[in-house]
């Protein structure tokens, strides 16, 4: 029997809603989970602030100093400044801000704090709690795996999955690499191998870079790859080596294509590395309803991928969030995956329950399932069997 742990923090939900690329998305996710009462069926793990030094287990010290630097004028631009200020003052009491007169805005671009990762209100607190969410879940899974004995522990953290951030530079809407910090935490608690699987539309370059030379952590990223597609120049098939696998797809990947890759490539790689711990990044910007418009994936396709994956391995699993820019569909996808891991079926999801953000589902007729999210997208699937077999042959030869 699976024991499910789900992270939650009212403060981190509020702070994540400030993200320029994901304004209010976290409230959609947490709101729908609560509306379906899924949070009552799991063990909730509260997220609390951590010592800033823990972020330096991977990240460069000066980079963390820059992220930690107070930006009071920017904080005051938040519509909820007073309420957030009261909350962070209470929760972060004793941790303090990094006071360093040598740091100013002139360093922002050096550390990637520009363009797609521009500074935003209360950024430093968001960074701390996002890192904390995955680090603390990793610890909790490890302890729970020992405590429950015969059962299997699955931890879910929809706040996490920020896979593009590098050791000393923000990238791709990712201000901290909570995944690397989480895996580093796991490695301190487990002696065995860790397998990381990234199912986001975009290559998990930051995680792959961090563990490229590790003999204990294998990374595998299934992603869209093309000239100029973010992150540009990364994720090519020929860049794969044993322990760092790129599965580059073309436009139009379907549920069936993803499941073929899972069963004919990923399962073999997992068998090869014999992990004792599995980490999955489940960005859902590959949904056919996502504005990215690159894959034909459906909510049920993502959920089936996770179900088969977890059914295949009998080890602790940590599932993280990631990309996704149609917020109601992201909320539906991650809510459905959470429910599926609890044994719920599609029939358990019909009318959207009453909750604060219900009006945003009016366009769907207040229904969970719509013609759009039940059916595969209409774009041509360029990932034919011959191409998929080519990927398989190369990756399994490494």
pLDDT reading at 89 higher than 90: yes
Residue-wise pLDDT for 345-374, tens only, equals 999 999 999 999 999 999 999 999 999 999
* Stretch 314-327: mean pLDDT: 98
Residue-wise pLDDT for 148-161, tens only, equals 776 799 999 999 99
Which residues, including other chains, have CB under 8 Å from residue 308's CB and lie 6 or more apart?
259, 262, 263
Which residues, including other chains, have CB under 8 Å from residue 213's CB and lie 6 or more apart?
none
* Stretch 16-39: mean pLDDT: 98
pLDDT reading at 318 higher than 80: yes
Partners of 6 in beta bridges: 44, 156
pLDDT reading at 379 higher than 90: yes
User: In Å, how far are 2, 26, 125, 297, 317 from 5, measured between CA atoms?
Assistant: 10, 18, 23, 26, 10
CB 251 within 8 A of CB 293: no
- If you average pLDDT over every residue of the chain, what do you get? 96
Q: Which fold has domain 2-396?
A: 3.40.800
Tokens of 339: 């429910």
Beta strands in 256-369 (DSSP E): 275-281, 317-320
Residue-wise pLDDT for 90-134, tens only, equals 999 988 666 554 457 889 999 999 999 999 999 999 999 999 999
pLDDT on residue 68: 95
Beta strands in the chain (DSSP E): 2-8, 43-46, 152-157, 193-198, 217-224, 244-249, 275-281, 317-320
Give the confidence band of 202 by pLDDT, cuts at 50, 70, 90: very high
Annotate 81-137 with DSSP letters as a single string: HHHHHHHHHHHTTTT-----TT--GGGTGGGT-SGGG---TTHHHHHHHHHHHHHHH
pLDDT on residue 13: 99
Residue-wise pLDDT for 303-312, tens only, equals 999 999 999 9
Q: What percent of the chain has pLDDT over 70?
A: 97
pTM of the model: 0.97
pLDDT on residue 146: 81
Residue-wise pLDDT for 43-87, tens only, equals 999 999 999 999 999 999 999 999 999 999 999 999 999 999 999
pLDDT on residue 94: 82
* Stretch 157-178: mean pLDDT: 99
Dihedral, CA atoms, 50, 134, 46, 23, nearest 10 degrees?
100
Tokens of 262: 């899972």
Residue-wise pLDDT for 107-118, tens only, equals 999 999 999 999
* Stretch 263-276: mean pLDDT: 98
pLDDT on residue 41: 98
Domain ranges of the chain: 2-396
Whole-angstrom Cα distance, residue 307 to residue 70? 43
Give the confidence band of 28 by pLDDT, cuts at 50, 70, 90: very high
pLDDT on residue 214: 98
Residue-wise pLDDT for 334-345, tens only, equals 999 999 999 999
* Stretch 317-330: mean pLDDT: 99
pLDDT reading at 327 higher than 90: yes
Annotate 237-254 with DSSP letters as a single string: GGG-BTTEEEEEE-TT--
Whole-angstrom Cα distance, residue 88 to residue 52? 15
Measured in Å, how far apart are the chain's first and last C-alpha atoms? 35
């Amino acid at each position: 029997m699976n024991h499910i742990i789900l992270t939650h923090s009212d403060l981190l939900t509020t702070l994540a809603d400030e993200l320029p690329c994901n304004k209010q998305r976290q409230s959609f996710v947490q709101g729908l989970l609560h509306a379906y009462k899924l949070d009552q069926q799991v063990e909730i793990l509260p997220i609390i602030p951590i010592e800033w030094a823990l972020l330096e287990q991977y990240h460069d010290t000066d980079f963390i100093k820059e992220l930690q630097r107070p930006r009071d004028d920017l904080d005051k631009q938040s519509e909820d400044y007073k309420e957030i200020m009261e909350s962070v003052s209470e929760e972060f009491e004793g941790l303090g801000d990094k006071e360093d007169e040598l740091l100013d805005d002139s360093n922002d671009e050096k550390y990637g704090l520009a363009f797609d990762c521009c500074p935003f209100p209360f950024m430093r607190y968001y960074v701390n709690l996002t890192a904390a969410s995955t680090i603390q879940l990793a610890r909790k899974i490890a302890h729970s795996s020992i405590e429950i004995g015969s059962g299997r522990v699955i931890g879910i953290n929809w706040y996490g999955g920020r896979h593009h951030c590098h050791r000393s530079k923000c990238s791709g809407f990712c201000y901290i690499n909570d995944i690397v910090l989480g895996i580093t935490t796991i490695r301190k608690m487990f002696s065995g191998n860790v397998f990381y699987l990234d199912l986001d539309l975009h290559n998990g370059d930051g995680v792959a870079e961090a563990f490229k030379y590790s003999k204990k952590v294998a990374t595998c990223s299934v992603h869209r790859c093309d000239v100029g597609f973010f992150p540009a120049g990364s994720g090519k098939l020929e860049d794969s080596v044993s322990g760092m696998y790129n599965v580059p797809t073309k436009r139009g990947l379907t549920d069936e294509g993803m499941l073929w890759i899972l069963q004919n490539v990923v399962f073999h790689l997992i068998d090869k590395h014999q992990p004792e711990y599995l980490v999955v990044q489940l960005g859902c910007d590959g949904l056919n309803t996502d504005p990215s418009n690159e894959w034909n994936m459906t909510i049920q396709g993502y959920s089936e991928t996770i179900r088969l994956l977890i059914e295949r391995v009998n080890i602790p699993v940590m599932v993280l969030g990631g990309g996704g820019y149609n917020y109601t569909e992201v909320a539906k996808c991650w809510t459905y995956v959470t429910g599926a891991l609890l044994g719920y079926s599609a029939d358990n999801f019909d009318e959207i329950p009453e909750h604060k953000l219900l009006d945003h589902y009016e366009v769907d007729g207040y229904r969970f399932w719509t013609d759009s999210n039940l059916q595969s997208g209409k774009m041509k699937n360029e990932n034919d069997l011959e191409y998929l077999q080519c990927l398989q042959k190369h990756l399994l030869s490494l």
